[in-house]
A and B are shown apart, each in its own frame.
Chain A
């Protein structure tokens, strides 16, 4: 029915996912390391101890390497918007324009103005102003993330706008509603604090490596204390923000939550799957068990989703086929209304073309009745509204598992540091080394959960990805995908080798 090559949509999505995940290697480190540098420098400012200056300059160098390699990798996403996702870009231009312009004008310039002072200003500006500049870089970096996540939050929960059928654009009606969109708020707090935990694990891992090699021991021990405090606070906070994010998902994207938990049949007092092996052959509506094996914590999913142990959490089957008892409209009914909306949009467009204002006006009135189901009008089967359960379930549980281990590791390092016995606990050091890999996996898995979990939607309920894409040739997307793979691989090798060289040199070289 829809004349878009499914492999084109697949390749365009794969390219976007690849670029976003690559970009997301650098961003969380920037968000967290900038604050860690500010902490180290503030301690130097307060104590006047030159060792802390050496520590600050060392971590600042690693921050600079990460920033330099990562900078502008996000711009490629904007290239892809214009080329591969032109329908989508056009439709959301009015909504995204304001947050992204604010990001450019405010956050980026704040960051860029103080960046030079941070790197060139040692011994050339006052200690206080230098420290202030480092804080400004940290705040600026994190403010950039606010605006990007406001845009992402809007795609998951489109609010504060109205669709203009004359221009085919979503137009902003209420800027504050877009900025304080609860999904955007929970996304920012969850994402930024996870970046803090990742950067803390990065500092912890390198410091542990030094301790294992008996190099730069004093610097490593001091760095571990700061990273453990920040990492512990951040990783515990990530748990709370994750709970809030899951609550928002339950309210705004219930199919995503059901996929995250592999829940097909809704239930009251629904349990949270602590561990499970999902049944790959299970499809919506069949009688197969969704799991080959699972361990559930009773009632916890209901509490997470609705703040009530006994509440009903809809499963995939309830959401796809409807559940009258629970007053849930099925996708079939939404598709019918969506198709009416698409049909009336076409009548409106054709009537406008021949200047038949009466017909256009009548079509617009009918369109407005069904416009909130517009996206469902493009689905071909109700099951199309379900994201790939296997990927979403596994990435969600990988994220939670990795994220749950981190506070324990940070806590153990902090405890032994305060007791002054850290160097005697050499068995703990490999765990510190591994923490960066765990944090990295949690970061990437989190994005996979959020983005694959909202499929098939580019804009939740309003625009599926197959309508958002530009009708290019598959070969064109494959060629650019291959070019990115080569470019990104070279850049990553460059970063890792420069970073390893700087780590091997240690603080004396900075």
Chain B
């Protein structure tokens, strides 16, 4: 099991070490994911219902309110 884990680790380590174009691509992927999750998601894309309501019941009630809010004007 330990031998197998060593082999797998070695496989990845050597693979990463041999990369040419791949090194640049990994840098781009890491920077991109950092921007997406540490900046965009955290500061600009909060989940509206999860942030503003604590329970699923409250979330459901809010959406139901949104679905029926204009009803007095339309009838």
Contacts and interface: CB of A to CB of B under 8 A. Distances in A.
B35 to A, nearest CB: 7
Contacts of B44: 83, 476, 479-480, 483
B43 to A, nearest CB: 10
A471 B65 CA distance: 13
Contacts of A479: 44
Nearest to A80: B45
Contacts of A166: 60
B68 to A, nearest CB: 4
A346 B71 contact: yes
Interface string B6-36: 0000011011101011101110110011011
Interface in A59-91: 61, 64-65, 68-69, 71-72, 75-76, 79-80, 82-83, 86-87, 89-91
Contacts of A339: 71, 74-75
Contacts of B66: 87, 467, 471
A467 B44 CA distance: 22
Nearest to B57: A167
A358 B56 CA distance: 25
- Chain B binding surface SS class: helix
Interface string B50-75: 10000010011101111111110111
- Chain A binding surface SS class: helix
A342 B21 contact: no
B14 to A, nearest CB: 7
Contacts of A87: 63, 66-67
Nearest to B16: A120
Nearest to B37: A75
Given A68-B28, A349-B64, A120 B15 contact: yes
Given A68-B29, A76-B40, A498 B46 contact: no
B46 to A, nearest CB: 6
Interface in A1-31: 1-3
Given A72-B36, A116-B12, A169-B60, A1 B18 contact: no
B21 A498 contact: yes
Interface string A142-181: 0000000000000000000000011111000000000000
A343 B72 CA distance: 8
B47 interface: yes
B28 A502 contact: no
B7 to A, nearest CB: 10
B59 A491 contact: no
A1 B45 contact: no
A68 B25 contact: yes
B66 to A, nearest CB: 5
Contacts of B74: 1, 339, 342, 377
A345 interface: yes
Contacts of A487: 35
Interface in A438-463: none
A72 B48 contact: no
A165 B15 CA distance: 54
A345 B64 contact: yes
B47 A86 contact: yes
Contact of B46 (A68, A71, A83): A83
A470 interface: yes
Contacts of B70: 1-3, 378
Nearest to A61: B21
B25 A82 contact: no
A79 B21 contact: no
Nearest to A340: B75
A457 B65 CA distance: 20
A285 interface: no
A86 B48 contact: yes
B18 A342 contact: no
B11 A342 contact: no
Contact of B40 (A64, A69, A345, A483): A483
Contact of A119 (B15, B60, B69): B15
B25 A65 contact: yes
A140 B48 CA distance: 32
B18 to A, nearest CB: 7
A168 B67 contact: yes
Nearest to B69: A3
B48 A470 contact: yes
Interface in A87-135: 87, 89-91, 116, 119-121, 124
Contacts of A121: 11, 15
Nearest to B66: A87
A494 interface: yes
A120 B12 contact: yes
A430 interface: no
A359 to B, nearest CB: 15
Given A1-B74, A79-B40, A167-B56, A72 B32 contact: yes
Contact of A480 (B16, B45, B49): B45
Contact of B25 (A3, A64, A91): A64
Given A86-B63, A168-B61, A339-B71, 5 more contacts: A83-B47, A119-B22, A120-B15, A121-B11, A168-B60
9 contacts: A72-B29, A79-B41, A80-B45, A82-B45, A83-B45, A91-B63, A120-B16, A483-B44, A509-B20
In the A-B complex, the 4 residue pairs with the closest CB atoms: A120-B15, A82-B47, A346-B68, A68-B25
